[in-house]
Structure 1
Amino acid sequence: MTAAPPSSPARAETDPPAAPQPRDTLVRVPGRLRRALGWVLVVALVLIVGAAGLLLAVPSSAQRDGLDPERPGPGGMQALAQILRQQGVTVDVVRTRAEAERRLDEDTTLVMSDPYTLSDAAVAELTDAAHDVVLTSPSARMLRTLDLGSYAFPSAPPTVGADCDVSAFAHVGTIEPGQLFLPASGVTACFGDADGAAVLISEDAGRRRAIVDGAALFTNERLAENGNAALGLALLGARAHVVWYVPSFEDSDRTDVDVPKSLADLTPGWVSPVVALGMITALLAAVWRGRRFGPLVAETLPVTVRASETMLGRARLTAKAADATHAAEALRAGTLARLALRLGLAARADPGAVADAAADRIRVDRADCRALLVGPLPGADAELVPYARRLAELETAVENAVRIERSSP
C-alpha cells in the first residue's frame, strides 16, 4: 500500500496568495452614499426655501399688464402681435414713454392699453407724436382726451357686423362686442347700433384715433373667435410699423399714483436677516442633533403580546365591522393550513388539492369537501356559525383518521 505523495513545496511557494476580499469597502460605500444623499436633500431643501422667498419678493412676469403683447397667457396679446408680424408689420414693444416717442414717425401706429400711470399732459404729448393711435383698453379719461365719446351701458348684442363706412372693416364679418361706446360728434361708430358701438374711429387730416375693448376681442383666448383677428389686423395693421407701448408704474410721471407694494416693500428690513439666520440655525441644528442617515434599526418591543390577546383583538375588530365573509375567509385559511400539515402537503398547496386529499382520507365525497374549502363563503353572521362548526368537524375527522393510520401496524 503506497502513500499519497506529499504536495510539492515549490508549487506551494509559487502559488499566488489569495487576494483579500474588500469587505470593508463594500460595506462603507453604501453608508457614505446614503449620507451624501441625505446632505444633498438638506441642501436642496434650503435652496427651495430660498427660491420660494425670492419668488415672493420679486414680482413675476405673470403680474404684468394683462394686455401685454409679450405675454403668452390667456389674457395676453402675444398672438395678435405675432399675426401682425406674419403680415409684414414691424411690431416694436416698448415699456417707456421716451422710447415710444423716439420710435414714432409718420408711418407708425401707436398701440397701447389705458396709460393710467401717465398724466394728461404726458398722454397728450405721446398721442400727438403718433400718426395713428389705437387704444385697446378704454377708460373715461382716454375717451375724453382723444375726444371720441363716452361709455354706453346697454347690454351688448350677441353678434354685430361693421355697419359703417370704414372700408377696412368690409371683410371682418361679425364679432361679439364687449364694452360699448357712444360716439362724439364727427366720430364714426362701428360694430353696434344707436345705443352703442364696439369701435369708435376719428379721422382728422389723415390722422386716425380708434378705441376698442381689446380685453373682450384681442386677447389670446378670444382672438380666434368670429372676426376678432380680422378686426385686429384692420385696426393695428393699417401702417407698416406698430409701436406697442406697455404702461407701467416704473414709467409713471404722476405723483398721485399709489404704486402697489411688493412683499419685499411691505416687509420690515430686519425680517430678511432673521429669516436667513433662522435657516442657518436650522441647518446647524440638523447637523448637530439630526439622526444618522441610513436604514432603520430593528429593535425588540419592550412588551410581549400574547397570541391569545392578538386573536381576541382581531376577532373583536371583525365582529365590530360585521364582515362575516372576511371572518369566514380567515377561518378557512387556518383550516387549509392545518389540514395541509396533517396530510403531508405543502404549506401553500392548492385548496382544491387539500380538499381532495381530506376527502380521500376520511372517505367522503370530494364535492362536499370542495364546497366547504373552495366554494362560496357565507355572507351573514347566521351562516358563519354553522360554517365554522363544519370546518371544525372536518379537521377533527381528518385528525382522527391520521391518528388511526399512524397507530395501526
Structure 2
Amino acid sequence: MSTTTDAPRTSDSVNPPAAPARRRSTVWIAIAAVLLLVGGIGAALAAAGEWSQRDELDPESAGPDGTRALVEVLRDHGVEVRVVRDRRAAADALATGPATLVIPDTPALSDDGLLTVTRAAADLVMIDPRSRALDLLSSGAEPAGVAPPGVVQPGCDLPDAVRSGGIEPGAVYLTADDDAVACYPSGDGHGLLVGEVDGRRIVAVDGTVLFTNERLADDGNAALAVNLIGRHPLVVWYQPGPGDTDLTDTDPTLGDLTPPWVSPVIVLLLVAGVAAGVWRGRRFGPLVAERLPVIVRASETTEGRARLYAQSRDALHAADQLRLGALERIGRLLGLGPAASAPEISDAAAGRTGIDRGEARRILIDDIPANDADLVSLSLRLRHLEDAVHAAVRPERNPR
C-alpha cells in the first residue's frame, strides 16, 4: 500500500478540471482570434471597395457610378485630364491655358464661390446641372423633368451631337435663349443644351446616365462625352472634396446648446457602466473554506454551500465534495488508515463488495458531471456504493 500525506483528498486524482479548462480557454481564444481576423479582412475589403468606388461621377472611381473610364478614354485621345478637389487647385490648373472645366453639382459652394471657380474656364461642361447652376451659369435654362426610356436622335445641327448619333438621355432641360443649341428632344425639353455666355461655351447634360462607367459604352454616349469635353488639350475635372466649401453654418449644434459639463458626465457614466459590467459579469472562482466566526448548525452550513454551488453552477466542485465525504466514510468502514489514497480506497471497496474495479473507480474518481442531472446521478451511485460497502462489512446491521 502506497503512502500519501493527505487523507483521501482527490485534488490530484478526482479533480482533473485543469486540462479541460485549459482546452476550453484555448478554444475560446481561437474563436476570438478567428472572428477578429475575419472582421479585419472584411473591414479592409469594405474600405478598399469604398475607396475604389468613391462618390457618383468621381473621375477616379472604378465603380458603376464613377467616371474613370471616361477619363481614360480622353487620355487615350491625347487630352490631358487633371482631377482637382478644391477651388484653389482648380483655379491654378485653369490659369495654365485654355481648358475645359467639367463640374458636377456643387451644393457646398455659395453662388459667388461657384461663379469664381468657373470664371477662368474656356469651356464649361455641367454634367449634373441643377436649378441653381443653370440659373447662374447659363442663359435662362431650367430643368424639365426626365426623358422616357428610348434612344433619341440629335435633332439638331450641332456637329458634336451629329457625329455622336443617338443616345438615351436622362434629365432634360428647357432654355429661353434663342441662340442656344438644344439637342435630343424629349417632350418639352432637350437632353443637351449648348450655349455661349461671355465668350465661352456652356454645356448642360445629364452625365449621371450617360458618362458613368456603367453606361459609357451604350449608344453614342462615349462619342458625345469626348466631343463635348475634349475640345481643348487640357480638361480640369473639378470634383469638390468634403472640406471644400465656402458656406458658413450659423445654426447651433447640439454640443453648443448643452452645458459644458454634460459631455464629461456622459463619458463618466459610460466608463462606470463598463466597469459595472466587468464587475458583475466576472466568473465565480473556486469556493474557499474559512473558519466561521460563530457556531452554525451543520445542516445550515451544508444547505448554504449547496446553494452557492448551485448558484455558481459548479457541478464538478460539488461532486468532489460528495466524493471526499464518501471516500472518508468508506475508508473508515474498510479499516484503512488516513493515509490511504483514493485509488486504494476504490480498489478495496470493489474487492469487498464484488463490484467491478473500473465501475468503482468511475464512481469515486473518474466520472465528471457536466450538469445538475449528472451530479444527481453521481450522488445516487455514491450512496449505493457506500451502502454496499456498509452491508458487506456489517451485514448484521441495517445500513444507516
Correspondence 1:171 to 2:163: yes
CA 185–281 in structure 1, closer or farther in 2 if over 3 Å, else same = farther
Identity value in percent: 38
Q: Deviations over 1:253-297 (max 9, x none)?
A: 1225989x9x99999845667657756765676664599xxxx96
- The match for 1:6 is none
Aligned with residue 192 of structure 2, among 191, 199, 206: 199
- The match for 1:15 is none
Aligned with residue 212 of structure 2, among 208, 211, 219: 219
In the alignment, structure 1 segments of 5+ residues that lack a partner are 1-26, 54-59, 305-409
CA 258–148 in structure 1, closer or farther in 2 if over 3 Å, else same = farther
Correspondence 1:180 to 2:141: no
CA 178–193 in structure 1, closer or farther in 2 if over 3 Å, else same = closer
Q: Is the 8 A contact 2:69 2:213 kept in 1?
A: yes
CA distance in 1, matches of 2:157, 2:205: 17
**TM-score, with structure 1 as normaliser:** 0.53
- The offset of 1:98, in angstroms, is 0.9
- The match for 1:73 is 63
Q: Is the 8 A contact 1:69 1:93 kept in 2?
A: yes
Higher RCO (CA-CA < 8 Å; seq separation 6+): 2
Amino acid at match of 1:219: T
How large is the Cα RMSD of the aligned pairs? Answer: 4.5
CA 257–266 in structure 1, closer or farther in 2 if over 3 Å, else same = closer
CA distance in 2, matches of 1:132, 1:152: 21
Q: Is the 8 A contact 1:118 1:254 kept in 2?
A: yes
Amino acid at match of 1:186: D
Q: Is the 8 A contact 2:86 2:244 kept in 1?
A: yes
Correspondence 1:110 to 2:101: yes
Amino acid at match of 2:216: L
CA distance in 1, matches of 2:41, 2:130: 38
CA distance in 1, matches of 2:40, 2:164: 51
Q: Is the 8 A contact 1:148 1:201 kept in 2?
A: no
- The match for 1:315 is none
Correspondence 1:233 to 2:226: yes
Give secondary structure in 2 for the equivalent of 1:217: coil
- The match for 2:130 is 139
CA distance in 2, matches of 1:300, 1:282: 27
Amino acid at match of 2:170: G
CA distance in 2, matches of 1:175, 1:77: 17
CA distance in 2, matches of 1:280, 1:216: 54
- The offset of 1:91, in angstroms, is 2.2
Amino acid at match of 1:68: D
1:2-401 → structure 2 map (5 Å cutoff): 35-42=25-32, 65-104=55-94, 105-153=96-144, 156-157=147-148, 158-183=150-175, 184-192=177-185, 195-203=188-196, 207-255=200-248, 269=263, 288-289=283-284, 298=370, 301=373
Q: Deviations over 1:322-357 (max 9, x none)?
A: xxxxxxxxxxxxxxxxxxxxxxxxxxxxxxxxxxxx
Q: Is the 8 A contact 1:117 1:257 kept in 2?
A: no
CA distance in 2, matches of 1:177, 1:243: 24
Give secondary structure in 2 for the equivalent of 1:174: coil
CA distance in 2, matches of 1:33, 1:269: 44
Give secondary structure in 1 for the equivalent of 2:164: coil
**TM-score, with structure 2 as normaliser:** 0.54
